[in-house]
Chain A
Amino acid sequence: MTIASLPTPTAWTDNKRYLWPLGALVMFLPLAGTIGYQLTGWTISLWLGFFILYGLIPMADRLLGEDDANPPDAAMESLAKDSYYRWALFISVPVYLGMWAYMVWFAVSQTLPWYGWLGVVLSLGVGCGLAINIGHELGHQTSPLERFLAKLTLAPGFYGHFYVEHNRGHHTRVATPEDPASSRFGESFYEFLPRCVYGSFKSAWEIEKKRLTREGKSVWHWSNDNLQSWAMTALLWGAMIAWLGWIALPVLIIAAVYGGSLLEVVNYLEHYGLMRQKRADGGYERCQPHHSWNSNHVVTNVLLYHLQRHSDHHANPTRSYQTLRNFEDVPRLPSGYAAMILLAYLPPLWFRLMDPKVVEHHGGDMRKANIKPAIREQVIARYAQPA
């Protein structure tokens, strides 16, 4: 290699460089579980994807801890242009699609006890959830190839509306009460989930309707990004049903619903209780680094392509994953997203851990927080400092 022999101004090397393909590798795990089952006959092996998400990853985060290393400014451009990273991401797409088709086939074609079948379907759902995150990264890129791959990656899990809603909806309304995908102080994950899913579908439809109307087209025009994504889902699901019969449909639906809920539980963590303040003219201040919860836990950061460096993501949304930086003095979660998901499933524990952090972040002035409307006045009164 000639590069290595040249004296470069930056001797910096990316310590995560060779870890990024793990995002694609992890997509093999549900499949590995089925192979394990066939070798050992142990039904529990079919739950491999599920156990890795809720057990191994949070534990590995705890053991391996945090990495707050940032690329220096001088290395940013070459890092952004290094096509290795682009390919490390791309490779996850065919791996996911192959795994998805295989797992649907496996669930349908094998004689399994119901708890084995469920393990297969939920392990597949973990893959669907991770794939939405891959679609997220691709959907922020600007080339037509990446944008096509984004829609394709969202299609098996029927989450194509996310491609539209996330960029043009969530990124503009983030950390405001108007955003379906920003969770509110005092709102449990189970309250957030239906509000977010319904609000996001509705928003995605309206965003494209508005754009197409502006261009003088009908909302049913083929260039509607929602319709394009849903057509891909119809095509993929149709192909699976044509191949395997209607018995595949419950597998497709349960995996998609569970995968979508994984994406939304991550959404739940990202902006909990944080709020942009209103300006005198009624608009909101810009989204700033203190409007997102961050984590530097290295295992989740690799598997989620630096999604947890969330403040930088909102400040520089088209910046690709390898170049996202850790910001100092931003809201920080006590653990990686994988462990925080488990807490989010248990609202009393979530509130006990996170509510004091939100209160502390606002210095007790909860008028500045994004609070569930029904309890807003109570919460403000409860934490107000005596004058």
Chain B
Amino acid sequence: MKKWRCLVCDYVYDEALGWPDEGIAPGTKWADVPAGWSCPDCGASKGDFELVED
């Protein structure tokens, strides 16, 4: 499971947790998150995220 960080506001999408509020089940891979989904905090597009390396 990977994490993706919003380059604008630092919100982190954690694949393990998903975003159940909006029907994105825990375990949903970043690639499977709908293209039109945007950062819940700042509204930035999916393209504004980068993979968190750790």
A interface with B by C-beta (< 8 Å): 140, 142, 167-168, 171-172, 174, 211, 281, 283, 286-288, 314-319
Contact = CB atoms under 8 A, between A and B. Distances in A.
B42 interface: yes
8 closest residue pairs by CB, A with B: A287-B43, A171-B42, A286-B43, A172-B42, A317-B8, A172-B41, A318-B48, A172-B9
Nearest to A142: B7
Contacts of B42: 171-172, 174, 287, 314, 317
Contacts of A286: 38-40, 43
Chain B, interface residues (CB within 8 Å), range: 10 to 19
Contact of B50 (A140, A142, A314): A142
Contacts of A142: 7, 50
B8 A171 contact: yes
A315 B9 CA distance: 13
26 contacts: A140-B8, A142-B50, A168-B10, A172-B9, A172-B42, A211-B10, A281-B21, A283-B40, A286-B39, A287-B42, A287-B43, A315-B38, A315-B43, A315-B44, A315-B45, A316-B44, A316-B45, A316-B47, A317-B7, A317-B8, A317-B42, A317-B44, A317-B48, A318-B47, A318-B48, A319-B47
Contacts of B50: 142
A173 to B, nearest CB: 9
B20 to A, nearest CB: 12
Given A142-B50, A286-B38, A315-B38, A171 B44 contact: yes
B48 to A, nearest CB: 5
Given A142-B50, A315-B38, A171 B9 contact: yes
A167 B40 CA distance: 14
B13 to A, nearest CB: 14
Nearest to B44: A317
B42 to A, nearest CB: 4
Nearest to B46: A316
Nearest to B49: A318
B6 to A, nearest CB: 9
